[in-house]
Amino acid sequence: MSLPYYLGCPQWQHPDWQGRLPAGLSSLAQYSRVFNTVEGNTTFYATPTSAQCEVWRSQVPECFRFLFKFPREISHDALLARTDPQVRRFLATLAPLEDVFGPFLLQLPAAFGPQHLANLWGFLDRLPDALTCTVEMRHPAFFEKGEAERALNQGLREREVARVCFDSRPLFAADPVDESTRDAQRKKPKLPVHVLPVARANPVVRFIGHPELEANREYLAPWVPRMANWIAEGRKPYMFIHMPDNGQALSLVQLWQGLLREKVPELPELGLADQVDQPGLF
């Protein structure tokens, strides 16, 4: 699948996706025939082996990109202080995937406040030159358009680092009537959507959907012209689609791609089979 932007999900397999992706391949290979990126969230909790990374590399084409998340021990436990040895070990393990690295996701906790910005600048400045990074903040001070946010945005611009556009509005507009929605609302931050264009960095959008598919149209609509403009400018933005229950993520992806194709008609259709309701067992 050739797309002028990167489109993916927070994982490459889910039991509810059975029959919707190309058959006869491993789950990652199936996924990579439709999508050209994926969030590597598992690295936040545990680093894979080099052997596992070699297997993953063999299953994706050259145009595919992994957006790996820095481990929790680096971003959350240490708040980026004195983490050079952990970073070196992490990157060395992932080296078999080096040619399909997207930007690494540095997701910082709410505990990482304005007083920690020096840690962020030191961390970014010590990363290898060939490695790109995107930063997601969760401390409220970085969303108040005050001195702290101005300092953050200025430092990111100076380093040509994209700030993640995290959009959880649809999730928190939903009534928490099911466990998946309640769980997602507990875990995801409820913060304003702030967009920081950076000249030479590809934008990264993480969209957390409403559990009712059609309710997402109004929240996706503002992203359509913005994404189309980025593509027209020659950028290659990343769009990651989440749902409270990611078994429904492929349906939201189809809705998103259909909306974007209305603005960018040359986009191809995705090779996803329609959702088929499974018959009851009894």
pLDDT on residue 24: 86
Contact assessment for residue 209 and residue 242, using Cβ atoms and an 8 Å cutoff: yes
pLDDT on residue 1: 59
pLDDT on residue 8: 98
Q: In DSSP terms, which residues pair with 140 in a beta bridge? A: none
Q: What is the identity of the amino acid at 5?
A: Y
Q: What is the token pair recorded at 274?
A: 């329609």
pLDDT on residue 279: 41
Report the distance separating Cα 186 and Cα 197, nearest Å.
Answer: 29
Q: What is the token pair recorded at 232?
A: 């027209």
pLDDT block averages, 10 residues each, the chain of length 282: 92 95 92 96 96 98 98 98 97 98 98 98 96 97 97 97 97 97 97 90 97 98 97 96 98 97 94 64 32
pLDDT on residue 276: 55
pLDDT on residue 34: 96
Report the distance separating Cα 271 and Cα 199, nearest Å.
Answer: 32
pLDDT on residue 92: 97
pLDDT on residue 197: 79
In CATH terms, the superfamily for domain 6-263 is Protein of unknown function UPF0759 (3.20.20.410)
pLDDT on residue 277: 52
Report the distance separating Cα 210 and Cα 180, nearest Å.
Answer: 11
Extents of the domains making up the chain:
6-263
Report the distance separating Cα 121 and Cα 213, nearest Å.
Answer: 39
Contact assessment for residue 259 and residue 37, using Cβ atoms and an 8 Å cutoff: no
